[in-house]
Amino acid sequence: MSIAAKLGRPDILALTPYSHAAWDPSLERLHANENPWRASADKSDAGLNRYPEPDPITLESRLATLYGVTANQLLVGRGLDEGIDLLMRAFLVPGRDALVQCPPTFGMYAVAAKIQGAEIIHVPLTGDGTFALNVNGLLAACSARTKLVMLCSPNNPTGNVIPRDQIRALARQLNDQALLVVDEAYIEFSDTPSLLDCLTEHPNLVVLRTLSKAYGLAGARCGTVLAAPDIIDLLRRIRPPYSMATPATEAILCALSADARREAKTQVSLVISERARLQHALAAIPLITRVYPSEANFLMVACQSADTLMARAKRAGFLLRDVSYHPQTRACVRITIGTPAQNDRLLEGLSIP
């Protein structure tokens, strides 16, 4: 029995997906109740008066090449938020099943699970400042009701990476029991390789990737779920048709050209360089008591007063992210790496009482 058949919601497994209008670009379209005229302001190639490709096969094929997987191992959605939501809806029975997460971490995991009506089990990262995974605690928290285990690596907001060997060992231990979902939104900024090469070996492993960070496409909303084909097939059952808007798809395909990928790689290198410079410079500011190491495009800092640091940044014209809401990140603020000029102005502003 496949992992999706074993862990998926029975009603979703039995669901007959929505049947969208036929897709054949070679024929004139009088079958989908569309407006036959383009709007005068429409600058798209395909025409906004027409529905986009029902399933974004062209885009998914290009992303499969980018990530080195087959097209049936991949599903694209409107940002990672949609992929996370689809996983919750496909695998968590409301009022019965549970999700395990390791705070402090990305807040959408818990939000999506609550919307689904699932229990959320928290296994905090270690409180010694390393934010390491509590492997024994995580395994002890898993039961027959646990269908999803969510990890973020590099983690948001702490910036640290979970060792690959640790994740692979967890995938083996949770095999046939739960999906192990690893959010790699920031992996391009890390020296640690992606887990995509482990998908075949671990059928319960799911990897999340995005074009929002390294490729500068946050506004296009393009997130990707990568997993075994049976898991992807189950998610396709509940993904709405025409899920990727035409302007977004056209912009994404342009951003995946060879020249655009080279530009993105150059920008990632600059972010990594600026991250190292900023880490050193922030540590010299008296208000800041600690700068945590990071393998993402941000740094988390501990300070004497998060409110004071936020106020200084705002006075200098910047918004930072206050993450002091969690017990393990009290008085901490997350700072995204900007351009060299932005970073210079921020450092100057944070240094002025």
Task: Based on the fold, state whether residues 45 and 119 are members of the same structural domain.
Answer: yes
CATH classification of the domain holding 329: 3.90.1150.10
Please give the model's pTM, rounded to 2 decimal places: 0.96
Task: Based on the fold, state whether residues 174 and 277 are members of the same structural domain.
Answer: no
Mean pLDDT of the region 41-65: 94
Among the candidates 240, 256, 272, a domain finishes at: 256
Task: Based on the fold, state whether residues 174 and 297 are members of the same structural domain.
Answer: no
pLDDT for 197 equals 97
Mean of pLDDT over the chain: 96
pLDDT digits (tens, 9 = 90+) for 175-208: 989 999 999 999 999 999 999 999 999 999 999 9
Residue 9 in this model has a pLDDT that exceeds 90 = yes
> CA distances (Å), 63 to each of 14, 19, 69, 212, in order?
29, 25, 9, 14
Report the half-sphere exposure of 218 (CA within 13 A, side-chain side).
5
Task: Based on the fold, state whether residues 113 and 129 are members of the same structural domain.
Answer: yes
Task: Based on the fold, state whether residues 243 and 291 are members of the same structural domain.
Answer: no
User: Residue 329's pLDDT band (boundaries 50, 70, 90)?
Assistant: very high
Report which residue type is found at 343. Answer: N
Task: Based on the fold, state whether residues 244 and 267 are members of the same structural domain.
Answer: no
Rounded distance between C-alpha atoms, residue 72 and residue 141, angstroms:
32
Task: Based on the fold, state whether residues 301 and 237 are members of the same structural domain.
Answer: no
pLDDT digits (tens, 9 = 90+) for 93-124: 999 999 999 999 999 999 999 999 999 999 99
Rounded distance between C-alpha atoms, residue 42 and residue 52, angstroms:
14
Are 237 and 17 a contacting pair, CB within 8 Å?
A: yes
Task: Work out how many domains the chain is built from and give that number.
Answer: 2
Among the candidates 207, 232, 256, a domain finishes at: 256
Among the candidates 225, 241, 256, a domain finishes at: 256
pLDDT digits (tens, 9 = 90+) for 161-170: 999 999 999 9
Domain, as residue range, for 37: 3-256
* Residue matched to tokens 């495009």: 297
Angle between helical axes of 246-255 and 258-283 (0-180°, round to 10): 80
Task: Based on the fold, state whether residues 182 and 291 are members of the same structural domain.
Answer: no
